């Protein structure tokens, strides 16, 4: 504690001091890569022949005192060829550095810093701006899909505004959050584990929000995925699910201001639709069924008329995006400013998004020893979505279920409201709007009191206000209905760090120490009402009968201390140790503080004297790490005994106990072992990285039965264990680089084995004694000891007996049965989690043309189509069917999908069984982009354009090898539109992804 008090005092003293350092003549500038112009942090800049020097900051900028008569500056960095530059009388010197063929030239982002790729021993993967910018994606996470081994990105739905599910090296929790921590420019984003900051399940919408949906992809410089324990340990209690660090674009000191403008427009359609019966087909089918069951009928006996509901609720979607930015700086100041407006109109009626983003990043070098700056992002998001995904109220669900002879207008031209409703006029007459306003940013001060010591204090905010409004007219909700919810969630944090680099002989050290404090306060106000005298009254305050009014609040806080030591000997024997101590208000008083740590080591084999200098292998590095991290994604008051007000007893107001207290409640803890090999071949033209990992998560948060004498039936406790084992493989190669033609290929593959090792005593058990926890879903999905965390448990469907036409299933012993209603006949039918995920990217450049083709794939895992229980319910005439039912049995020897319509067992056909379970594997051509860069000799004639590129793009172009696509279901959606870990890979008419065709232009000034 003395050390931390001393550090705090030193920081406060330095940051409040009015002392200035003596200044000689100064030189400043920026160091960039000659190959792509990217800023290079960590470059050593030294006045030749002296010990005077500095290192470039994260933006590649430097400032250095030099002799008044000039001299020579030496620029050096691992992986780059050193440069010497005459100072002369100049005060600004910008330098481009070339790649050293023998070494590596990349810098990777880490927690609270960065490291050269050569010396990095953490498992991190970075996606640059070229894979993010100017794509018709609303969510930045989409750019990660198929780009990093062991990272799976799945849209929860094709509806605009819903969450993206991101899994990094498996699933570590059954009941707590499984999404990674997002950090923007050093600010960890507010998570909504204590309750979403958006849609209400009762007011429409219903789907989970995306935590970075309101971030502008064009403002992102890079996204870095932290995967192993050595990379995530410094995020402590929030690192178990991995961390994604987002770095936004910055300016450059001493560089002329550059302007850019980008515009693209696009058209979208659904990737797939279900094929349902037309009105004529439905009437004929129902007549055939009626006749087969003993009541002869003809199509004329059923309601006439008809309407194509799928055509009525879908259209061609449109997307438009406009963005402008400027970046540059003076000798001491650098800035970036950008703004974007984007409008996306879905292929579904009633679903639209408008995004308005602004960003301003500024840094200033006040003196040789003092720098400061700030990063600020502001956004407004408007999301119209009157329907609730995963319910019978969404347009697509109505289109599939509505009886096809029901029409949206009656004979007099008035809207109808029969059957499953009328979404065509509902979206015109009713209103559902979600608005999000968000400000995220930080301001920092950095001081260099002595050589090689950097002190930094950083203050950050993440302020979110969401507003949800719903208004139903009398026609659809008798008397009218209105709903209004406003949520204000404000987070602020302070982080203080000290970095010290030193060395002696062939040993080099880097030490980081710091502490941080963050807190978040949330307020919710909700009101509902009904009984409006007129549909023209838009506000809930005009309701005659307020039905629900609530005002609640919640807050939490986190205090942390942390440190990291990096050591290398001869730049080839590497060691790193990290530690963090977190104190969280979310957990019980008996376990409020926890310690998380990691150690890692590396060996640069290719730098050994015995390693051949001109062989097949040009670079070889072996690394390993082990450490721990936690998961704090639980409610803010999960450890406390809670009471609910608004209850009456015998006519008197009162409260009731609603949650049992647990003062020992603590975070789920994940211990991870990683062994990795990084190799490069043929003078770095072929690059391979392979990792094996094992993640053991203990102290799972689960509901455990307690004696009823306590007044409760269960209590949340830390008990249970799950393991994730896997392999991550990334391969990149320069196939051709000759005569103006360049072709590169990058591929990655992730393998995952997930297994529940233990569950608490008192858990439910099956007939074989296997303990399990039921996952909330339409069907039977379980977390089972000895199996995966999302295991299907269903009766096996055998098929239609070709001789009798009866549907047949198998009982537990494998015997044929026609009655699949006995729960004891259920067996394990596979996991919802895929075994393999990955992607392959081909990029070609030739004389101004560029072509990019990106393919992602998933192998293994199974998806349950709960919607087929309705579509295949032949015995019911209350809703429409898919055209599969037309393939029904009529005579002995027929091999058909559907049974004999007169079978006495046909009512069982829609029961939960493997009939509705499908292989979730697929291969998708995710993106094809063709661009052309206008030659400079043409641009020079414009006198103001410095760069211009036009391009055309297809997103979600083609899908192959997909059983789900054959069923009219997009394989790339999950959870029925939610972000919950429960009910993975389950669909109930979930909206498919969009296939988008885009053309655009990018201009530089």
Q: What is the DSSP string of 728-768?
A: EEEEEEEEEEETTEEEEEEEEEEEEEEEEEE--TT-EE-TT
Mean pLDDT for the stretch of residues 282-288: 96
Count of C-beta atoms within a 10 Å radius of residue 610: 5
- Quote the pLDDT of residue 591: 84
| Percent of all residues in the chain with a pLDDT value above 90, rounded to a whole number | 60
Q: Which of 730, 722, 662 is nearest to 698 (CA)?
A: 722
Q: Does residue 167 lie in a domain region?
A: no
Cα–Cα distances (Å) from 519 to 1, 194, 558, 647, in that order, read: 22, 14, 6, 32
Lowest-confidence pick of 182-191, 383-392, 689-698, 821-830: 383-392
Decide if 203 is inside a domain.
Answer: no
Mean pLDDT in residue range 78-102: 78
Q: Do 554 and 698 share a domain, yes or no?
A: yes
Domain boundary among 71, 105, 139: 105
CB 615 within 8 A of CB 693: no
| Residue 195 confidence class, pLDDT cut points 50, 70, 90 | very low
Q: Is residue 115 part of a domain?
A: no
Give the pLDDT confidence of 716-767 residue by residue, as tens digits: 888 899 999 999 999 999 999 888 899 999 999 999 999 999 998 878 888 8
Please state, for a pLDDT cut of 70, what percent of the chain lies above it. 92
pLDDT given for residue 200 in this prediction: 31
In the prediction, which pLDDT does 33 show? 81
Sign of CA dihedral 659, 660, 662, 668: negative
pLDDT confidence bin for 778, thresholds 50/70/90 = low
Beta-sheet strand order (sheet of 53-55)? 53-55, 44-47, 72-77, 80-86
Which residues touch 789 (CB under 8 Å, ≥6 apart)?
Answer: 171, 174, 722, 754, 756, 783, 833, 981
**Joined tokens for residue 541:** 């305050």
3-class DSSP assignment, residue 8: helix
> 701-740 burial, b if ≥16 CB within 10 A, otherwise e?
bbbbeeeeeeebeebbbbbbbbbbbbbbbbbbbeeeeeee
Q: Give the count of beta carbons closer than 10 Å to the beta carbon of residue 19.
A: 9
Instruction: Give me the pLDDT at residue 900, please.
Output: 97
List strand residue ranges (DSSP E) for 531-649, in order. 545-569, 573-584, 593-604, 617-631, 642-649
Would residue 720 count as lying in a domain? yes
Residue that is last in its domain, among 105, 135, 150: 105
Question: Does residue 150 surpass a pLDDT of 50?
Answer: yes
Q: How confident is the model at residue 573 (pLDDT cuts 50, 70, 90)?
A: very high
Task: Check which CATH number belongs to the domain holding 15 and give it.
Answer: 2.60.40.1120
Which two structure tokens, joined as six digits, stand for 772?
């399990």
Q: Give the distance from CA 551 to its chain's centroid.
A: 31
Q: What's the number of CA atoms in the CB half-sphere (13 Å) around residue 160?
A: 34
Q: Of 105, 125, 142, which residue is a domain's last?
A: 105
Query: What local confidence, expressed as pLDDT, does residue 888 receive?
Result: 97
CATH of residue 854: 2.40.170.20
Q: Is 485 left (phi over 0), alpha (psi -120 to 50) or beta?
A: beta
Strands 164-168 and 573-584: unpaired
Does 978 have pLDDT greater than 60?
no
Tell me how crowded residue 787 is: count the other CB atoms within 10 A of its CB: 19
| Nearest-angstrom CA–CA distance, 105 and 118 | 8
> What is the per-residue pLDDT for 15?
35
* Res 393 pLDDT > 80: no
Worst-scoring range by mean pLDDT, 374-388, 463-477, 653-667? 653-667
Residue 852 lies in a domain: yes
Question: 327 near 304, Cβ under 8 Å?
Answer: no
Tell me which residue range forms the domain holding 93.
2-105
Q: What is the pLDDT of residues 315-361, one digit of tens each?
A: 999 999 999 999 999 989 999 999 999 999 999 999 999 999 999 99
Name the residue among 622, 626, 512 with its Cα closest to residue 567. 512
Give me the mean pLDDT over the 108-117 stretch: 89
Measure the CA–CA gap between 484 and 434, rounded to whole angstroms. Answer: 10
How many Å apart are CA 461 and CA 190, to the nearest integer? 9
Listed in sequence order, the residues at least 6 apart from 707 whose beta carbon sits closer than 8 Å to its beta carbon are none
pLDDT 10s digits, 433-446? 899 999 999 999 99
Give the HSE-up count for residue 863: Cα atoms under 13 Å, Cβ half-sphere. 29
Q: How many CB atoms lie within 10 A of CB 845?
A: 18
Per-residue model confidence as pLDDT tens digits over 210-265 = 678 778 888 999 999 999 999 999 999 999 999 999 999 998 888 889 999 999 99
Cα–Cα separations (whole angstroms), residue 490 to 523, 526, 761: 9, 18, 40
- Mind listing the pLDDT tens digit for each residue in 524-559? 999 999 999 998 988 888 888 877 788 888 899 999
CA-nearest of 618, 625, 617, 620 to 604 is: 620
Q: Which residue has the higher pLDDT, 108 or 233?
A: 233
Mean pLDDT of the chain: 87
With a CB cutoff of 8 Å and minimum separation 6, the contacts of 975 are: 156, 165, 983, 984, 985, 986
Residue 89: closest CA among 22, 27, 23, 24 = 27
Q: What is the pLDDT of residue 201?
A: 32
Within this chain, do residues 100 and 243 fall inside the same structural domain, yes or no?
no
In tens, the pLDDT along 827-845 reads 999 999 999 999 999 999 9
Is pLDDT of 198 > 50? no
Query: Binning pLDDT at 50, 70 and 90, where does residue 9 land?
Result: very low
Question: Which structure tokens are listed for 263?
Answer: 């515009």
> Measured between alpha carbons, how far is 951 from 849 in angstroms, rounded to an integer?
9
* Number of domains observed in the structure of the chain: 2
291 falls in which pLDDT band (50, 70, 90)?
Answer: very high
Residue indicated by tokens 């087909």? 281
Q: Does the structure show a pLDDT above 90 at 11?
A: no
DSSP notation for 18-65? -------SEEEEEEEETTT--B-TT-EEEETTSS-EEE--TTSEEEEE
| Burial environment of residue 449 by CB neighbours within 10 A (0 to 12, 13 to 18, 19 or more) | middle
Specify the pLDDT at position 136.
74
| CA 68/CA 157 separation, integer angstroms | 64
In a domain, 231, yes or no: no
User: What pLDDT was estimated at residue 1?
Assistant: 40
Give the pLDDT of residue 550: 82
Give the C-alpha separation, 273 to 282, whole Å: 18
Tens digit of pLDDT for each residue in 43-68? 888 888 787 888 888 778 888 888 88
φ, ψ dihedrals at 481, nearest 5°: -145, 145
Query: Is the pLDDT assigned to residue 101 strictly greater than 60?
Result: no
Report the pLDDT value the prediction gives residue 514, as an integer from 0 to 100.
97
Query: Which of the four pLDDT bands, split at 50, 70 and 90, describes residue 36?
Result: low
The dihedral sign for the CA sequence 536, 540, 542, 547: positive
Q: Is the CB of residue 5 less than 8 Å from the CB of residue 13?
A: no
pLDDT for the residue 647: 67
Beta strands 95-97; 26-33: pairing state: parallel
pLDDT at 697 exceeding the cut of 60: yes
Instruction: Quickly count: other Cβ atoms within 10 Å of residue 968's Cβ.
Output: 22
Residue 329 located in a structural domain: yes
Widest distance between CA atoms in the chain:
108
Helix H or strand E encompassing 114: strand 113-116
CA–CA separation, 948 and 719 (whole Å): 59
What distance, in Å, lies between the first and last C-alpha atoms of the chain?
A: 54
Q: Which of 786, 804, 782, 803 is nearest to 794 (CA)?
A: 782
In a domain, 139, yes or no: no
247 and 98 within one domain = no
Strands 80-86 and 807-810: unpaired
Q: Would you state the pLDDT for residue 206?
A: 38
């Amino acid at each position: 504690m003395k050390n931390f008090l001393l550090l705090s005092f030193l920081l406060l003293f330095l940051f409040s001091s009015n002392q200035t350092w003596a200044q000689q003549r100064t030189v400043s500038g920026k160091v960039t890569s000659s190959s792509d112009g990217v800023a290079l942090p960590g470059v050593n800049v030294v006045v030749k022949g002296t010990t005077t020097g500095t290192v470039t900051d994260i933006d590649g900028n430097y400032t250095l005192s030099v002799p008044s008569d000039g001299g020579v500056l030496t620029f050096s960095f691992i992986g780059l060829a050193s440069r010497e530059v005459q100072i002369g009388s100049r005060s600004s010197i910008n330098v481009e550095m070339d790649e050293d063929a023998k070494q590596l030239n990349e810098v990777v982002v880490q927690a609270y810093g960065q490291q050269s790729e050569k010396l990095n021993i953490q498992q991190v993967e970075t996606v640059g701006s070229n894979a993010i910018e100017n794509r018709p994606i609303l969510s930045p996470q989409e750019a990660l899909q198929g780009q990093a081994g062991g990272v799976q990105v799945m849209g929860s739905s094709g509806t605009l505004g819903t969450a993206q599910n991101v899994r990094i090296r498996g699933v570590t929790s059954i009941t707590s959050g499984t999404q990674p921590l997002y950090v923007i420019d050093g600010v960890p984003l507010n998570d909504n584990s204590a309750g979403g900051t958006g849609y209400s399940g009762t007011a429409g919408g219903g789907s989970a929000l995306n935590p970075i949906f309101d971030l502008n992809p064009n403002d992102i410089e890079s996204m870095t995925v932290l995967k192993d324990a050595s990379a995530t340990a410094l995020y402590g209690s929030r690192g178990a699910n991995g961390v994604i660090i987002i770095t936004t674009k910055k300016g450059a000191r001493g560089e002329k201001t550059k302007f850019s403008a980008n515009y693209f427009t696009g058209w979208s359609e659904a990737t797939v639709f279900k094929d349902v019966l037309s009105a004529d087909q439905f009437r004929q089918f129902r007549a055939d069924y009626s006749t087969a069951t003993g009541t002869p009928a003809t199509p004329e006996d059923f309601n006439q008329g008809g309407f194509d509901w799928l055509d009525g609720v879908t259209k061609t979607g449109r997307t438009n995006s406009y963005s402008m930015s400027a970046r540059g700086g003076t000798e001491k100041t650098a800035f970036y400013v950008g703004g974007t407006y984007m409008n996306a109109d879905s292929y579904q009626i009633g679903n639209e998004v408008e995004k308005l983003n602004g960003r301003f990043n500024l840094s200033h070098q006040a003196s040789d020893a003092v720098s400061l700056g700030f990063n600020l992002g502001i956004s407004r998001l408007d999301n119209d979505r009157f329907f609730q995904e995963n319910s019978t109220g969404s347009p697509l669900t109505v289109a599939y279920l509505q009886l096809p002879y029901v029409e949206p207008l009656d004979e007099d031209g008035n809207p109808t409201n029969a059957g499953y409703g009328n979404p065509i006029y509902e979206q015109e007459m009713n209103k559902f709007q979600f608005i999000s306003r968000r400000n995220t940013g930080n301001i920092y001060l950095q001081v260099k009191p002595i050589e090689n010591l950097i002190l930094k204090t950083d203050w950050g905010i993440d302020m979110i206000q969401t507003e949800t409004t719903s208004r139903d007219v009398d026609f659809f909700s008798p008397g009218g209905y209105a709903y209004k919810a406003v949520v204000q969630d404000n987070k602020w944090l302070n982080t203080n760090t000290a970095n010290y680099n030193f060395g002696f002989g062939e040993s080099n050290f880097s030490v980081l120490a710091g502490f941080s404090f963050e807190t978040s306060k949330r307020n919710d106000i909700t009101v509902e009402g009904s009984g409006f005298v007129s549909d023209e009254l838009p506000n809930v305050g005009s309701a005659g009968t307020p039905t629900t009014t609530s005002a609640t609040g919640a807050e939490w806080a986190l205090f942390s201390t942390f440190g990291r030591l990096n050591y290398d000997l001869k730049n080839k024997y590497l060691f790193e140790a990290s530690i963090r101590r977190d104190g969280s208000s979310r957990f019980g008083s008996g376990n409020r503080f926890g310690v998380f740590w990691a150690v890692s080591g590396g060996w640069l084999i290719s730098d050994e004297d015995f390693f051949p200098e001109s062989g097949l292998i040009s670079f070889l590095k072996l690394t390993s790490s082990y450490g721990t991290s936690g998961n704090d994604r639980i409610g803010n008051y999960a450890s406390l005994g809670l009471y609910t007000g608004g209850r009456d007893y015998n006519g008197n107001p009162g409260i009731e106990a609603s949650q049992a207290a647990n003062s020992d409640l603590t975070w789920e803890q994940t211990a991870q072992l990683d062994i990795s090999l990084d190799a490069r071949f043929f003078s770095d033209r072929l690059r391979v990285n392979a990792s094996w990992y094992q993640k053991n998560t203990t102290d799972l948060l689960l509901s455990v039965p307690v004696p009823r004498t306590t007044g409760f039936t269960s209590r949340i406790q830390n008990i249970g264990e799950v393991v994730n084992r896997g392999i991550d493989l990334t391969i990149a190669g320069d196939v051709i680089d000759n005569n103006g033609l360049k072709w590169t290929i990058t591929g990655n593959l992730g393998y995952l084995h997930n297994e529940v090792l233990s569950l608490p005593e008192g858990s439910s058990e099956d007939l074989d004694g296997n303990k399990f926890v039921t996952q909330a879903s339409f069907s039977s999905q379980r977390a089972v000891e000895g199996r995966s965390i999302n295991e299907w448990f269903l009766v096996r469907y055998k098929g239609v007996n070709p001789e009798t036409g009866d549907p047949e299933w198998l009982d537990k012993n494998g015997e044929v049965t026609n009655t699949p209603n006995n729960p004891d006949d259920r067996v394990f039918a596979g996991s919802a989690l895929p075994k393999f995920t990955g992607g392959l990217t081909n990029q070609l450049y030739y004389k101004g043309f560029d072509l990019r083709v990106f393919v992602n794939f998933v192998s293994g895992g199974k998806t349950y189509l709960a919607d087929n229980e309705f579509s295949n319910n032949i015995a019911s005439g209350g809703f429409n069917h898919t055209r599969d039912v037309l393939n029904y049995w009529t005579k002995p020897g027929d091999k058909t999908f559907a049974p004999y319509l007169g079978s006495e067992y046909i009512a069982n056909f829609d029961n939960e069984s493997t009939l509705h379970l499908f292989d979730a594997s697929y291969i998708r051509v995710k993106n094809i982009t063709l661009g052309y860069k206008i030659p400079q000799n043409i641009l020079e004639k414009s006198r103001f354009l410095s760069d211009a590129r036009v391009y055309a793009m297809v997103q979600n172009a083609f899908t192959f090898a997909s059983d789900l696509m054959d069923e009219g279901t997009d394989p790339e959606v999950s959870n029925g539109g939610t972000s919950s870990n429960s009910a993975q890979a389950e669909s109930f008419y979930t909206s498919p992804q969009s296939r988008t065709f885009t053309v655009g232009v990018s201009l530089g000034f």
